């Protein structure tokens, strides 16, 4: 089992790069949506560049990281199946399923924007961007605190974090509406 920590390290590295992609891709979506409101030829130039950046991020970093993180996680569970008997792991895996759903839905947005189909506002994407943050917080706290966390406080904490993120988005929108250069 000497190699267990190597597999664990690789899992963690790919989780980090997966989240990096999930954090950055909605920012590119926001820029793409806002570029679609600019006059020609700026709109076409920016859209084409943002599509290329999104495509590279999504297919070269985010998707491979997601796949490798899941492969290494599965390998870890095969090597140490006792984790599957622990309640916190069931909840963590539920959040991982939620993360995979979030990733797949983000892929739908990606495909739409690759076709220049603007179906959502930049404000919607700002809110969408916080989904990965909430899932990350939940997973990290579950892994670190395991069963020592009181689930009521954990749920309340995640909800409060979500409320704070939404308030931050609203405050930023007000600042941006007053000063478009912000």
Task: For residue 129, give the nearest of 178, 73, 168 by alpha carbon.
Answer: 168
**Binding-site residue set for heme:** 11, 92
d(Cα 93, Cα 158) in Å, to the nearest integer?
Answer: 17
Separation in Å, CA 130 to CA 45, 77, 78, 101, 170: 28, 28, 32, 14, 13
Cβ proximity of 57 and 106 under 8 Å: no
Binding site, annotated residues? 11, 92
Kindly state the tokens that stand for 65: 């990281």
* Contacting residues for 96 by C-beta, under 8 A, at least 6 apart: 73, 139
């Amino acid at each position: 089992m000497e190699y267990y920590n190597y597999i664990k390290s690789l899992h963690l590295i790919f989780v980090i790069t997966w989240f990096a992609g999930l954090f950055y891709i909605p920012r590119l979506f926001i820029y793409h949506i806002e570029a679609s409101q600019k006059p020609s030829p700026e709109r076409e130039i920016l859209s084409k560049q943002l599509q290329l950046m999104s495509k590279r991020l999504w297919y070269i970093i985010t998707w491979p990281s997601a796949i490798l993180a899941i492969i290494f996680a599965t390998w870890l569970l095969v090597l140490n199946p006792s984790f599957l008997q622990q309640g916190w792991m069931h909840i963590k895996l539920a959040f991982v399923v939620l993360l995979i759903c979030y990733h797949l839905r983000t892929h739908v947005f990606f495909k739409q924007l690759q076709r220049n189909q603007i179906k959502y506002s930049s404000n919607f994407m700002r809110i969408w961007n916080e989904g990965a943050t909430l899932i990350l917080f939940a997973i990290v706290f579950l892994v670190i605190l395991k069963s020592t966390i009181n689930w009521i406080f954990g749920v309340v904490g995640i909800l409060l974090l979500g409320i704070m993120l939404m308030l931050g988005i609203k405050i930023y929108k007000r600042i941006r509406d007053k000063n478009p250069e912000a």
